[in-house]
Amino acid sequence: MERTIISNKMSNKFTLESSDSKFFLLYLNNYSEKVELTVSNNSNVDILILNLHDDTVVHFDVLDNAYLHVALLDHKSTKNFKISANVGLNSTFSAHFADFIVGECKGEVLVNLNKEGATCDWHLASLTEKNDKKEFDVSVYHNSPRTFAQMDNYGVCRDEGRLAFSGICQIYKGAHGSKAHQNAKIMVFDRSSHGVAKPILKIDENDIEASHAAIVGKINDEHIFYLTSRGLTEDEAKRLITLGYLKPILNGFVDDDIKKTIEDLIEGKM
Amino acid sequence: MSTLVIKNLHAEVDGKEILKGIDLKISEGETVAILGPNGHGKSTLLNVIMGHSKYVVTKGSIFFDDIDVLKLTTDERARLGLFLGMQNPSEIPGVINSDFLRAAVNAKSEKPISTYQFYKLLDRATKELKMPFDLATRSLNEGFSGGEKKRNEILQLMLLEPKIAMLDEIDSGLDVDAIQVVADVIREEQKKGRGFLVISHYARLFDLIQPTRAVVIVNGKVAIDGGPEYIKRIDQTGYEFIKTELGIEISKEENNMNTVSIGSCAVKESIK
């Protein structure tokens, strides 16, 4: 897929429109300066980010009636990063984050739904293994009426990996008609691994819809029995279950080579 | 022709003995109806044969020809030619049905099946079962109706071609038309010489698939191993004759219901 390359080597501020091309590749060099991207009114933009860097700060301003999709894949040793977004009238900030970061990492994502009709659609799939220690804090603030957030954080934790999902969905007074749904699921493969999910809802308005779910647990024995009773070995069964858990993140990626990379990462081929 | 031989099988779950000395033999080409009151060990028997880790075998043996089945893992038993169509098939999110089916087909064959061959196989099987093909592309059993799950079990039976297929209440959740479809498939599979161990509470399925034998399990033991005429008798008169004619007291199903009732605190009850 042809993507227009933008890089923080060129500038720290970009305004993106979907007039010529809607597909961009944001290339981040190892500078710690904040990168700011503005998606213009009525634009529909898709940005691919391959690997963040330590102390990366990326901020998106999604103006009115605009749509931004961010596809993020990281399989390097990023230590900490911050991603934030302000979302305008009837606009959407949608993101798919395939996390294969190696080592210790602390990531923070903060989305402000500032005007009516603003939507945040967040998906994270994390593979945490081999002494990785990762913490992701994803928070969404509903500052206006009829703002919507769907947040799905999925993780697989194995071989002494430690993974924590936290985050707040806050609906302020006056943000009536808003909806906030948070899902956090971590599958812990073995006793040496550790998973924590802490979804928090803070609600100051009555006329809203909100839910949160947190599941941390080992692979269901019945699932293993079902798959092995069809002739699959236990390892093969576990592999299929892991794939099934993380694979839905592929829906957020359109570039075939990136999809292939993610599949290989999930299957541990890289 | 292969034969599964179960001798004096004892098994327990959570320290409670469920199977108390089962003796049973089934060969390829036979269809054996398994009957018996609820909670007396029918499903447990099938799960133990398949090697569910929840059940502990304390005594006895299971041999498939000269192979000691109890020494094998569940997947090895499956590859040996044993199949269990489950009463409540697991819903496994994210695992695509066709990916799983293909992995299962590949598990039993030496060389992997080609994509074309696999889809041809799948297309034929789903048509025979009158299943929408899109079920194959959805997550395994997730969001399937009760009937769709059961058809999906039969679909796997067709693809895996076991020697002995065990079906645990495959007809529950199926409407009259679906039972007919499933029975048609079973009859086709019977012609291929497969053995069937079938649990059902209803004579309708048995009428359609014509078992060669009927086995009644009471109190964790085989109380009757006889002709198919017992199916009709039990359907019409229940299990009472087992007590009056054979002198076997049918123990009541233990009441495992949660004792917490509305008005009491479940948390308090649970820490008592």
In contact, B159 and B108? CB cutoff 8 Å: no
**Which top CATH class is B3-90+162-271?**
alpha beta
Q: What is the pLDDT of residues A64-115, one digit of tens each?
A: 999 999 999 999 999 999 999 999 999 999 999 999 999 999 999 999 999 9
DSSP string, chain B: --EEEEEEEEEEETTEEEEEEEEEEEETT-EEEEE--TTSSHHHHHHHHHT-TTEEEEEEEEEETTEEGGGS-HHHHHHHTEEEE-SSPPPEEEEEHHHHHHHHHHHHSSSPPPHHHHHHHHHHHHHHTT--GGGGGSEETTT--HHHHHHHHHHHHHHH--SEEEEESTTTT--HHHHHHHHHHHHHHHHTT-EEEEE-S-HHHHHHH--SEEEEEETTEEEEEE-THHHHHHHHHTTHHHHHHH----PPPP-------TTS-HHHHHH-
Q: Which residue of B has its CA nearest to A235?
A: B75
Q: For residue A210, what are the β-bridge partners?
A: A180
- Look at residue B265 in the predicted model and tell me its pLDDT: 53
Which residues of chain A fall short of a pLDDT of 70? 19-21, 31-32, 269-270
Residues in contact with A236: Cβ distance below 8 Å, sequence separation at least 6, in sequence order: A227, B103, B107
Interatomic CA distance for residues A84 and A8, integer angstroms = 17
* Nearest CB to B74; choose among A220, A225, A243: A225
Chain position carrying tokens 């039969």: B154
Tell me which residue range forms the domain holding A151: 4-219
Q: How many CB atoms lie within 10 A of CB B114?
A: 9
Q: What is the pLDDT of residues B99-150, one digit of tens each?
A: 899 999 998 888 899 999 999 999 999 999 988 888 888 889 988 888 899 9
Q: Does A248 touch chain B (CB under 8 A)?
A: yes
Q: How many CA atoms lie within 13 A of B149 on its CB side?
A: 22
Contact B86 A228 (CB under 8 A): no
Which residues of chain B fall short of a pLDDT of 70? 253-272
Confirm whether A237 is domain-assigned.
Answer: no
Confirm whether A22 is domain-assigned.
Answer: yes
Q: How far is B123 from chain A (nearest CA, A)?
A: 20
- Look at residue B272 in the predicted model and tell me its pLDDT: 47
Q: What is the CA radius of gyration of chain B?
A: 20
Q: Which residue of B has its CA nearest to A246?
A: B94
Task: Kindly report the average pLDDT of chain A as a whole number.
Answer: 93
- Look at residue B93 in the predicted model and tell me its pLDDT: 84
**For testing contact with chain B, the best of A227, A245, A263 (most B CBs within 10 A):** A227
Look at chain A and report how many structural domains it folds into.
1
Give the Å distances, CA to CA, from B96 to A185, A267, B75, B139. 19, 16, 20, 4
Which pTM was predicted?
0.80
Interatomic CA distance for residues A122 and A243, integer angstroms = 20
Q: Does A221 touch chain B (CB under 8 A)?
A: yes
What is the phi/psi pair of residue B52, to 5°? -65, 130
Which residue, B42, B49, B13, is CA-closest to B218? B42
Q: Does B159 touch chain A (CB under 8 A)?
A: no
- Look at residue A2 in the predicted model and tell me its pLDDT: 86
In contact, A37 and A11? CB cutoff 8 Å: no
Residues in contact with B259: Cβ distance below 8 Å, sequence separation at least 6, in sequence order: B269
Which residue, A138, A26, A125, A109, is CA-closest to A75? A125
Contact B103 A221 (CB under 8 A): no
Interatomic CA distance for residues A127 and B237, integer angstroms = 58
Q: How far is A126 from chain B (nearest CA, A)?
A: 15
Confirm whether A150 is domain-assigned.
Answer: yes
In contact, B68 and B14? CB cutoff 8 Å: no
Contact A243 B94 (CB under 8 A): yes
Q: What is the CA radius of gyration of chain A?
A: 19
Structure token pair of residue A59: 């901020």
Confirm whether A227 is domain-assigned.
Answer: no
DSSP state, residue A21: -
A139 SS3 class: strand
Sort out which chain B residues have CB atoms less than 8 A from A233's CB and list them: 73, 75, 107
Structure token pair of residue A217: 């647990």
Confirm whether A267 is domain-assigned.
Answer: no
Contact B90 A248 (CB under 8 A): no
Sort out which chain A residues have CB atoms less than 8 A from B100's CB and list them: 227, 230, 240
Sort out which chain B residues have CB atoms less than 8 A from A243's CB and list them: 94-95, 99
Q: Write the single-letter amino acid at B5.
A: V
Q: Does B13 touch chain A (CB under 8 A)?
A: no
Confirm whether A263 is domain-assigned.
Answer: no
